[in-house]
Structure 1
Amino acid sequence: MWTSITSLGILAITIHFIKDNWQFDYFILDVLYNIPSLHNAITIKNAIIEVVIELKIENRYIGITSDNEVKMLAATREIKITLNLSEFHHYRCSAHILNLVVGVAFNTNIISESVKKLRTFISIVRNSPKQIDKLKEYF
């Protein structure tokens, strides 16, 4: 679940699965825009269950991977109860955890000042098309 600067609720639902030939595959089931403004566990649960039931995959649904936000943990519990799925779990996104760890490390003395300055520079450039154009012109 992501909330835009205009408070628009956006929820992307992606499926990951193993095909008959044991190949890993995934695709986006749906991207829900305009989730009702109360972005709580029940709202998230209802949005996810609506898609899962519409696609008739509720009996094949085994878990959710998301950030560690409390409302996502609660939504997972609600889905498990609502769909009566005993083996349904919440999996914490390792990339999100790693990002949090790196963020904390940047607020300590573990990371050198030159690396912190480089990170700030990259962040500024990546978030500004004008700065990217200037950098391209320079190179």
Structure 2
Amino acid sequence: MLMAIESSPKMNEVIACQRYCYRDLTKWPKLNKLCQAQQEFFRRLIIDLNLEQDEVIKEATRLGKTHASMAQYGLKPHFLDIWNQHFMILLERLRIDDEYDKREYLRAWSTLISFVVEWMNYTYSREMELKRKNTK
């Protein structure tokens, strides 16, 4: 998350909801809370829900709605692409001695994240369309 925010100053502004943010992001309590929420999200998908497709869709939809509610602060779906890119960079740095295992590990994470992000983007788009219709 830190790498994604550092690569996109706009993301930092949006996450801070246009309020003052710490200059040293590692000391920002909200960043720690967001990172813990991400860890819990994926732990829940993998361990509690056993990656059941319908459950993953439900959770991604819920998170997509949350992201859509942040659109008022400038949150855009492409921020997920930035986050995804940096998450994969971190995973690639992991030391896994067996090349086949590492390739499979990266492929599994890439598949999961792509699926979740796709559903989040779909939900975000649908929510924004509903908001536009309701304001007419």
- Tell me the TM-score normalised to structure 1 length: 0.30
Structure ID, larger Rg: 1
- Tell me the TM-score normalised to structure 2 length: 0.31
| Structure with a larger share of its residues in helix | 2
